[in-house]
Amino acid sequence: MLQCNDTIYYNIPQALPRFGPAALFATAIFADRVRAAVEIPSLLKHLPNALTLLRLMLAPLIAWAVWQANVLNAGSQDWAMWAAALFIIAALTDLFDGMAARAFNAHSKFGRLIDPIADKALVGLPLIAISIVASRGDWPLWWIIAISTAVIVLRDITMTLIRFAAKDGEGVRVSQLAKWKTAIELIAVAIGILLMAAPALMRITGLGDGFVVSDAMTLGWIGFLAIAALLSAYTAFQYLAPKR
């Protein structure tokens, strides 16, 4: 028996013996195609989670590329370009996994659990690498980068543990403000990585060679990162503060 779009096909070949082998062969092909039409959407329902897992796997690779871009002399810009390219791919998976989940009605408990973890990894791991690089390289106001990173990472770890400890394994749903917080954090990480890759990007696009990131650019990015950290702390307070 085969069912598709509320239509049930009961052993069609048995109902057509008088039409001969040709009819039976054509019917078998038709049944296979209908079965394939039913199976393909079921496979697509796994696409959102696959994209989320890809983002989770890319996060440590991006952090490693950021580290290599700042500890190597030769080829450091190649690593910076890799970090930027991988981050763009990871950010796109964050966009498309939600679109795919809505398009294929593929919302699941696993997806709701793993999606924020992947986002936190994509923010936290590169930030940790940048913070270590900033402290070793004596960047201006590197300690603000370190504190902001600590606030963001500790907040994310705390919220993840709280969700795991909840009876349903999910805890409180992610608020709209927390989603905006994640978006701002991702932008902050993207700016930091793009500043590292800027000299190579300028050279490749033919806009000039010898581009140097100024202290003003770095300070502007540090200020944006500090704002993201403050918002992260505020959303944590919203979750943890007793309800009135």
Distance from first CA to last CA of the chain, Å, rounded? 57
Q: Where are the domains of the chain?
A: 2-41, 47-240
CA distance 62 to 96: 19
CATH class of 47-240: mainly alpha
**What pLDDT score was predicted for residue 223?**
96
pLDDT per residue as tens digits for the range 53-112: 999 999 999 999 999 988 866 557 889 999 999 999 999 998 888 888 888 777 787 888
Which residues are within 8 A (CB) of 208 and not within 5 positions of it... i.e. 6 or more apart? 202
Q: Give the global pTM.
A: 0.77
CA–CA separation, 70 and 59 (whole Å): 17
- pLDDT tens digit string along 212-236? 888 899 999 999 999 999 999 999 9
Q: How confident is the model over 3-49, as pLDDT tens digits? A: 444 444 444 445 444 545 555 455 556 555 545 544 546 667 788 88
